[in-house]
C-alpha cells in the first residue's frame, strides 16, 4: 500500500466508522477516536499496516453521500465519522520518538 497520488493509498480494505448525526458533537467524537485507535492497535498487533483517513469525508460531501450510506448499511441518523485504511505498506515506517518536552510529569 502506497499513496501513488491516491487518496486511499490503494488500500485493499477500508473500515468506515459511523457516528450519530448530532450537532454539536460531544462524547461521540471521543468514542469515534477510541474505535479508530482500537482498530489500529488490533491491526498493528496482527502485523497489518493502517492509516486513519479523515479525507474519506470528501466521499460523503458530494451528491453520492446517500448512495454510499445505503451501500454501507449506515443506520438512519448516522454519518461517516472516520475511516481506517488497512493493508501492507510499501515502506517500513519507524515509530516516532515521543517529545517528552510536551509531557508534564508531576511528583
Ligand atoms: C483523525 C485523523 C485523520 C487523518 N486523516 C488522514 C488522511 O485522510 N490521510 C492521511 O494520509 N493521513 C491522515 N491522518 C494521519 C495518519 O493517520 C497518520 O497519523 C499519519 O500519516 C502519521 O503516521 P505516522 O505516525 O506513522 O508517521 C489522519 C490522522 C488522524 C488522527
Q: Which atom of ligand 1 is nearest to the CA of 52?
A: 17
Task: Name the residue of 51, 83, 98 to mutate for ligand 1: max ligand atoms within 8 A of Cβ.
Answer: 51
The pLDDT value recorded for residue 38 is 98
Q: Where does the pLDDT of residue 1 fall: very low under 50, low under 70, confident under 90, or very high at 90 and above?
A: low
For residue 97, the number of C-alpha atoms closer than 13 Å in the C-beta half-sphere is: 2
Find the radius of gyration of the CA atoms of the chain.
Answer: 16
Close Cβ partners of 62 (under 8 Å, ≥ 6 residues apart): none
Q: Which domains does the chain have, with CATH numbers?
A: 13-92 (3.40.109.10)
The residues facing 107 across adjacent strands are none
* Angstrom distance (rounded) from CA 37 to CA 15: 12
Tell me the whole-structure pTM to 2 decimals: 0.89
| Digit-coded pLDDT (tens) for 21-51 | 999 999 999 999 999 999 999 999 999 999 9
Ligand 1 site residues (CB inside 6 A) read 51-55, 82, 93, 96
* Angstrom distance (rounded) from CA 80 to CA 57: 7
Amino acid at each position: 500500500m502506497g499513496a501513488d497520488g491516491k487518496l486511499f493509498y490503494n488500500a485493499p480494505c477500508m473500515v468506515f466508522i459511523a457516528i450519530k448525526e448530532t450537532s454539536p458533537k460531544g462524547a461521540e467524537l471521543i468514542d469515534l477516536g477510541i474505535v479508530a485507535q482500537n482498530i489500529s492497535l488490533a491491526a498493528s498487533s496482527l502485523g497489518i499496516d493502517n492509516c486513519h483517513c479523515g479525507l474519506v469525508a470528501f466521499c460523503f460531501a458530494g451528491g453520492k453521500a446517500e448512495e454510499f450510506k445505503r451501500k454501507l448499511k449506515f443506520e438512519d441518523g448516522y454519518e461517516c465519522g472516520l475511516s481506517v485504511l488497512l493493508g501492507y505498506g510499501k515502506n517500513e515506517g519507524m515509530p516516532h520518538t515521543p517529545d517528552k518536552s510536551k509531557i508534564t510529569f508531576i511528583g
